[in-house]
Amino acid sequence: MLGAIIGDIVGSVYEFNNYRAKDFQPFFHPKVFFTDDTVCTIAVAEALVSGTEPSASLREWGRRYWDNGGWGQRFALWIASDDMGPYNSFGNGAAMRVSAAGILARSVDEAIALSDRVTEVTHNHPEGMRGAAATAVAIHLARSGVSVSDIRQTISQQFGYDLAPTVDQIRPDYRYNERSQDTVPQALICAFEAANFEDAIRNAISIGGDSDTIAAIAGSVAEALFGIGDEIATQGVVISAAGNACSAPCTV
């Protein structure tokens, strides 16, 4: 889960100011902060661990950290409402928040079931459901010691994503979008192609687009594949513990 949070934090300064290369320095830009991807990741984890309604947790955490921003327009309306139902979203927000489902699952079927439980409250479009489930299954398989090549093959077969392109092939034509089907496969490739956790985040930033969310998804899978080094993990915890005091202008 920290992998998703660190991806969100590192990507926070590049979402609207893309940097299309892997050599950005420092790894944590001085103006980074955590955004909606982190807030929703925590909310989903709380729902799955404590058994609270996912919609209640997402609304509670979303309202508490409203100023951290980056909310999708309709998701913001959903948070503000007390009773709005799922709105058929195929946004990438379902996949960026789902890592706890992959961590808690003891089987592929359970990863999908847990993912569905926390996704259907908002992103009940088939593409939203697919993106979150594929991410949760990739995390579960990685934590189970399955090889990258076997995870890649399983996700391709089970979820129908084309995971053949390389990061270098994706980068030139990739454009900003918030669709699950045009975020999740690219983010998974950034993790699968990486040499380690940091490399996965650098891959994710380097393709441009919705950088914090791509890096959150790639980071959640990369954490399961490689673990996170002590130095980056510590910095991520320190920055995320800084609460909602944004060090950069918030983007609500």
Interacting residues toward Mg ion by CB under 5 A: 35-37, 70, 212
Q: Which is nearer to Mg ion, 65 or 226 (CB)?
A: 65
CB 34 within 8 A of CB 68: yes
Query: Minimal distance in Å, beta carbon 178 to Mg ion?
Result: 10
Q: Which is nearer to Mg ion, 105 or 216 (CB)?
A: 216
End-to-end CA distance of the chain: 24
Inter-CA distances, 78 with 34, 144, 201, 221, Å: 20, 35, 30, 27
Query: Minimal distance in Å, beta carbon 75 to Mg ion?
Result: 11
Query: Minimal distance in Å, beta carbon 162 to Mg ion?
Result: 25
CB 223 within 8 A of CB 2: yes
Query: Minimal distance in Å, beta carbon 106 to Mg ion?
Result: 30
Q: Which is nearer to Mg ion, 111 or 246 (CB)?
A: 246
Strand partners, 179: 91
Query: Minimal distance in Å, beta carbon 23 to Mg ion?
Result: 23
Q: Which is nearer to Mg ion, 119 or 152 (CB)?
A: 119
The pair phi, psi for residue 179, each rounded to 5°, is -85, 135
Please confirm whether the linkage preceding 172 is cis (ω < 30° from 0).
no
Q: Which is nearer to Mg ion, 182 or 212 (CB)?
A: 212
Residue partners of 104: CB distance under 8 A and separation at least 6: 48, 49, 110, 114
Q: Which is nearer to Mg ion, 36 or 182 (CB)?
A: 36
Q: Which is nearer to Mg ion, 71 or 159 (CB)?
A: 71
Q: Where are the alpha helices (DSSP H) in 144-196?
A: 148-159, 167-170, 184-192
Pick from 114, 100, 195: which is nearest to 143 by CA? 100
Query: Minimal distance in Å, beta carbon 142 to Mg ion?
Result: 23
- State which residue has the least CB distance to Mg ion: 70
d(CA 226, CA 246): 29
CB 104 within 8 A of CB 136: no
Query: Minimal distance in Å, beta carbon 14 to Mg ion?
Result: 11
